[in-house]
Structures are given as C-alpha cells and as structure tokens.
Structure 1
Amino acid sequence: MLWRLPAPVRSLFASNFRSLSRSAAGPTRHADPLRILFCGSDEFSIASLRALHDASRHVPGLIEEIHVAHRPAKPTGRGLKVLREVPIAKTASSLSLPIHTFDTFTGWKPPFSYNLVIAVSFGLLVPPRILGLAKYGGLNVHPSFLPDLRGSAPVEHAILKRRSHTGVSVQTLDPHRFDEGVVLAQTASPGIQIRKDESAEGLEARLADVGAEMLVDVLKEGSFVPPLESRGWYSGPTDYAPKITKRDRFVDFKAMTMAQILAVQRALGDTWCILPNGDRLVMHQVVEQSNTVDTDGDVQSGLWHEKNGGELLFRSACGRVGAIVSSTYAGGKAGKGNAKVGKLLREQGKAQKLFG
C-alpha cells in the first residue's frame, strides 16, 4: 500500500500521480490568493490546519492568510470545575495564527475579509450569512466515502459496522445541511483498508493525514472554483453515522457476537454491561480467549468467574469465549472491578452465572 512506502518514495509517487490526474482532468483553475477562515476542533482538524499552514509557506500565491475559529473550553470532570480546552486552540497559537472563539455564529461578525471557509470537525453548521461572504464558499474534509456515513462519527461507525475499507471525501459546504455538498475529491477505490485490530483513534489518525493532503491538492488544483465538478465515485450501500451515545457502548453478552463486542471496544473504547443487581460494570479491555475454558457445561452465554484461573470471562451469543482484562465497578476504584465482581461470584458459588 502507498502509505507503507518510505516517505521520499511515497512523496515522489504521489506527486507524479497528481500530475497525471491533473493532466487527465484538464488545466488547473486559478483563484485569488486565499484568505481562509478555518473552523476546527480536534486532532483530525489539526492535521488539515497544519497542512494549510505549511502550504501557505511553501506554495507561492496559494494562501495569503489563515484565521482559526474554534468553540470555547468546556467544563468537565466532577462538579464541572475543570475547563477542557479545544485541542486546536493550542496548535493555532503555536502557529501564531489569529484565533476567534465562539459557540454560535448568531451575532458573530467576522473581523477580517476572507474568501474561503474551511470547516473540519467543527460541530457547528456554517450558516448562509457566513458562507455568503466568501467568494469561493466553503470546504469540508469528511472521513468517509460520502454519501456513506454522513454524520458526526463516521470513523467510529465504520468500525462498528465492520466495514472492510473506508476513505476521505473533500466536499463543499452546504449552507443548510451537514454533508450534503459537492464531492470535489475522494479516496480512490477500494479505499483505505481498516486493519483487523485497529482502534478508531488509530484509523482517524491515518485518515487525518490523507484528508489533509487531499485538501491541499484541491486548493492547488482549484477544484473549488466554479463551475464545480463532482468527483465522488462511491455508489455502494450507505448508512448514517450519528453522534455516539452512552447506549452505543452497551454490551449484551447474550445478544451480541464476539465480533460485535470487539468492534464496539475498538470503535468506542470503554464498554459497559449491567449486573443482575442493577449496577454497571465498565469494561476497559476485553479480549477473545484462544484456549479452551472449562465451564462445567452450564454457561451458554453471559459472564462468569472461571474457577481455575480466577479470570472474569464471558461467552458471547456466537459461543466464543472472551476475558475482561480490566474493569471498574460502579462507584468503586478505577480498574478494580474484576476483583469486586469475582468476590460477588464467589459468594454466590463458583462458576455461577450472572446472566440467563
């Protein structure tokens, strides 16, 4: 795969490939030097911001200035006493870029003249009033094959739905709806393979680099200059990728297969289940057991404490057995949940089922 090649070889290959692509697509369209209002938040958007800043320094005449807009710090932790800064704020400051902080576009008046809006993982719809001030409208980098996985959590849902491949799309910003713009660039078929044990964090980091490079290519080629040409090729099955909720992390051993359980962990991190007494057990890490486990034949699916090794095990709906490596019992010490559940099970009798 391209990303496995040494960096110099990868760069040369990509450069030659883009040159051929531009020749096939026609001449590069020219635009005025870009004055960009960049709206972002997280690590995914930071990759695009860094790529734009680098292009402003090394591609003559492409980018004149970049201003960064982000949402304010949010209260977090117990009692909501700790303010969590938006990650992009530190990056924008380190790059000495002008920063604008607000939580709504209502009443906000842009303090500078821009001709392009770029919103990446921003979380707010850029309204017509703001887009209308930009000669070239707006662009967005989205980590999926649009129109598949429209929504705020495409990376997580790609793993949850056990997609084999995914990709990145650069689209125009629609003034009224998220992810409804014209796709100006899209990862070539079959896309980027999702690795077997890859987490959402790892996949997102890979897609962020791809998207950042693709965004700069769109600017260099002038694909955002009218008349716009759709270059989206994906026509397969489509699903929506809504915001992740606490319910999405719930594991039902009796109803979910091992593949589903492991996919939830890879996509969302901590999972949870409900014990018979109504308490919640947060599971920080679960793994599939490769060895044979003696359950005395009385556990069809559910959670139990293995009598020999002292492990907290579960059998999924498909019959495969896994182990809970680390957990936290509701109201207990972090990471000490296995000992608590084991004690409860021992009080009820070894190898006694908790579910079903």
Structure 2
Amino acid sequence: MKKVIITGGGFAGITAGLKLLKNNFSVTMFNPRAVFEFSPLLPDALIKDKPMLAEFSFAPLLGYKNFQLLTEKVVGVDATTKIVRGEKSTAEYDYLLIATGMDGKMAIEGNEQNSILFKSVADVVKISDYLKTKIKVGGTIAVNIIGAGATGVETALALATYLKARTEKWQINLFHNLPLPINNNPAWLATLLVKIFKTHNINFIPNQTITRLCPEGVVCGTNLHNSELNILTAGGRANVKFCAPEFLDERGQIKVNEFLQTIDENIFAAGDVSNSPNLKTAQAAEYEGNLVAKNILAHAVQHTLSPNKFKMQGFLMMTGAGTAAGMAGPFRLNGRLGGLLRLLAYLKSLPGIKNRLKLLQGN
C-alpha cells in the first residue's frame, strides 16, 4: 500500500485525502488542530459571535482504517530519505502533498505586534473578545481593515453587521492599494460593493500604501488613521518554513509545474502555498487537491498526469447576515438568493453528513 503524507487539513488536503483513501492508499495527515477550519465561514462565525460555526470534523477521513491524523505542525521534510518530521512524530512517505496554507503577515513595520491576520477560528475569538470588552466599557470602536480583496470585503461587512446589532458608536476603515475592491474584477461587482459599503457606513479608503502599523492605528505615508484594532486580510506568506530553499520561488511560494509537482516528482503542493496561477480561493484549493490525488494515482502506475486547467465555477461573497453577491454561472446575484446559493455551495464542498447538518443548523 502506497503511503501519502498530507501536511495541512484544509480544502486541498481533505479533498486529496478522501480521494486517495477511497483508492486504497495509506494517508497520514499533519494538522495543528483536530478539527477542520472552514475558512469561508469565518465572517459568518464573527457575525453570529459563534466561532465554532467554522469548525468541522475530520470524521469522513477518520472512518478509514488506513488514515492517521497527527495533531502537530510539520518542522522538517527530508526529500532524500522521504521522511516528514513533526513536532512529536516522524513519518515516511512515497508521496507528499504540501497544503499548509498561509501563515505570517505582510512585510510592514509593526505588523507582528499591532495587528491580527484574519485567517483562523482563533482570530475570530480574538476579535470577538476585543469587541465585547470595548462595547462593555463604552466609547467609540474604531477598526482598520487592510486589504479589500474577497476576505477583506467579507470581514468588513461582517464587522459592520456585528457592530450594528450591538452598539451605535463604531467606525470601520477599509484600506486598499487600488481604486476599487476585489481588484475591479469583475467591475460590476466592485462598483456594487462600494455602494454596499456606504449603506453599511464602512469608510472605503482606496489607493493607499500602508507604511506602518502601530498601537494608535495605521500610517499611510504621513497620515495616521486612528484605531485600536488593525486587521490584516491580505499579504500573508505561505506557511513553508519547513521547506528547503530550492523548493521556493522569489515570493516564498512552492514552485510547481502544470501537474502541481514540485522539483521532486513525488512531492506536490496545492492551495495557498504553491505558485500555481490559480486564484487563492477555497474553490481552487478543492480543485487542486482533487488534481493532486488524481496525479498521485496516475504516477503510482506510471500513467500520464493531468494538467492544471482550473476555471472558476462562479463565486459569491458574503455581504451580511444571510446575503451574498456574485456570480452563479452567467447570472449576477445579490441579496438573499445569493446567500442561499452560497450556503448550498458550501454544503457541496463539506465532506460528511454530520458536517453538513452542522452547517445547516448554524444557518
């Protein structure tokens, strides 16, 4: 039985793991936590002040006898001996999939001490605890959000929805380095989002270069935008500290070919860690996980590998409690129908009946 190690239990890792297990491969997964964090639901968890809404079970994988979950971080990979070292364990592999996602922040002065990188359930807890304390004490709550890509937009709208329901004294600044959010792609949605920001009293500040983060807020050039809470939603770095330098490109991402193989044909990378041309979305990570599993299966029997041909199958962005805007096929959506289709898309992506029931109960 061929042995596969997967580092990271996100969309790419789970999708690849399930496909390989079904084909009688042995799969060992390294993941820091014993739960699957469903990152697209982090804004929803923040709105409802229920961080656990974004946590789901690895049960669909754990049901296989040839699966092992090691709840620890990876600290080293030896490609010569084909051994992965965790904080406590070591394991051998025939094939390795690196899918550890993002970890760390953009190279801005003061970012480590003076901001939260919004990427995990733990970050939802930090933000929620901060807001509850501020609301209890009284006074105006000022929040700076850096980055108006999809994550930044959803985070800003989630915060606005949360604060509207709990206090009247708040201000949200959303900074972006371009004229319009989501890089004006598509233009109609970017324009719509700017209108939605206004209805939610979000102060969208475009064309900004952040030079420093400090306890008092965000510095753009010589201008200080006051805030006690700075949230980063862009500029994270690939979590690849355990990789040898020759595997990485100049941006610190893992170099992959059209089959998502690295410079070692038995090591693959998927999701945020790789330099594939695909958008860094949950949809793309799920596709890449499936492609890697397919190519491992083919490589094991010396068959031709399949190239990366990812195409977005529509997208929907959360704009408030139960609402979303975006595309479903050729159709433009905004409002409750968009929110419903977004929920259905997540139901499709989540493995396991119990996980899907939990998602439905939370919504």
Q: Same fold (TM over 0.5)?
A: no
- TM-score, normalised to structure 2, is 0.32
Query: Larger Rg: 1 or 2?
Result: 1
- TM-score, normalised to structure 1, is 0.32
Normalized per residue, the structure richer in helix is 2
